[in-house]
Amino acid sequence: MKTALELELFTKQSNYAAKARKLVDTLVELGTGKPVTRYTIKSWLDQWLENKARSRTKSTHMAYTTTVSSFLQFLDAEAEKRDLEWLQPSTINDWLNSLMKQVTPNTAGNHLKRLSQAFSEAVKFRYLKENPCSPISAPTESHKPEKEVFTQGQVEALLRIAEKEWKGVILLGFYCGLRLGDAASLRWKDVDLNTNWISITPEKTRRLEKMVRIPIHPDLHEYLMSLDGSDDPEAFVHPILAEKKVPGKSGLSLSFSKIVTRSGIKSRLLRPQKSTEALTRRHKVRSLTFHSLRHTATSWLANEGVPDDVRMKLVGHSDKAVHAKYSHHDERALREAIGKLPKLNIS
């Protein structure tokens, strides 16, 4: 009788799509005794972000948050009230087209990939029948500008004008291939000057608990020995820089860019600056960045004949396709590889 009354009420209502979903939910609840869970677009994305916060690094979660914010701003108030099943590929495509006016094709493709992950999980839990991102092709850049690598002379020029902590971070980038955030946040517990090893779990792969062990080059060893060591293994090797963020107007990336300029090195602007207020960031791509030191190290080792798998082991790459863009071994092989990196003249 209750089901019949619900059907009768349905026939007298407008907005049939919404009422039909409600009716089906009611029938399922009557049959199973369990309530049906439905999400709006915003409520699902908010929950997805909350779940990701527990399983991703801060930087990765920030990237997810930026993508979700962009998409919700595009939908405006619709995201608050629209059922998750309302989403269509055309909506995703319109968002992506608007995004392309603000960021590079590569960045837009990364945003599409992240949003697709969110809706893929909704399909997995059966809140969606199909992922609306699936039919959408990621944008490509036909003439993608390639970043450059530093020459030995340019690295030496950087070290001559760099202040004490920056000198150490640059050495870590060149001799260990560390990313800027990992080099700045290195702790003394990661450094063993007796056996000459640095053991670190990079921020980018921290959730996988993947540790990278890198032999310490003589130049880097000399620098580390010159520092006032700390008895506290949790202390930062570079305490001043460790307190700074990598991105932003006062971040480490911009500070390194200024060091490059002061050293007289020309770093070409690969793309014109694009205003991206919708994503709360500004985008400017230079040919030489701190990450170029990582490319420089792997390229140098390649030119010295160090095998692919040894180079991958040193810089922490697990994917040959990724490693190709940069151009199980015993300790001896790793030490011999690091030994092929040049001694720098900074006097």
* 340 contacts 306 by C-beta, under 8 angstroms: yes
The architecture of the domain spanning 41-124 is Orthogonal Bundle (1.10)
| CATH code for the part of the protein at 152-339 | 1.10.443.10
- Mean pLDDT, the chain, rounded, equals 82
Question: pLDDT, tens digit, for every residue of 227-278?
Answer: 987 678 999 999 999 999 988 778 999 999 999 999 999 888 765 544 444 4
Q: In whole angstroms, give the CA distance from residue 336 to residue 130.
A: 52
Instruction: Name which of 204, 214, 157 is nearest 345 in CA terms.
Output: 157
What integer pLDDT is reported at residue 30 of this predicted model? Answer: 63
Q: How far is CA 131 from CA 52, 164, 306, in A?
A: 19, 51, 44
Query: Which percentage of the chain shows pLDDT scores above 70?
Result: 78
Cα dihedral sign for 224, 211, 296, 185?
negative
What are the tens digits of pLDDT across the range 272-318? Answer: 544 444 443 445 677 889 999 988 988 888 888 888 777 777 766 45
Tokens read off for 87: 């989403």
Neighbours of 161 (CB within 10 A): 14
Contact 278, 73 (CB under 8 A): yes
Residues 209-227, mean pLDDT to the nearest whole number: 90
Residue 89 vs residues 70, 86, 100, 123, 146: alpha-carbon distances, Å: 17, 10, 16, 14, 32
Q: Which of 295, 308, 304, 309 is nearest to 338 (CA)?
A: 304
Give the pLDDT confidence score for residue 327 in this predicted structure: 43
Report percent pLDDT > 90 for the chain.
Answer: 43
Q: Where in the chain is the domain with CATH 1.10.150?
A: 41-124
Give the total residue count for the chain: 347
Separation CA 316–CA 178 (nearest Å): 9
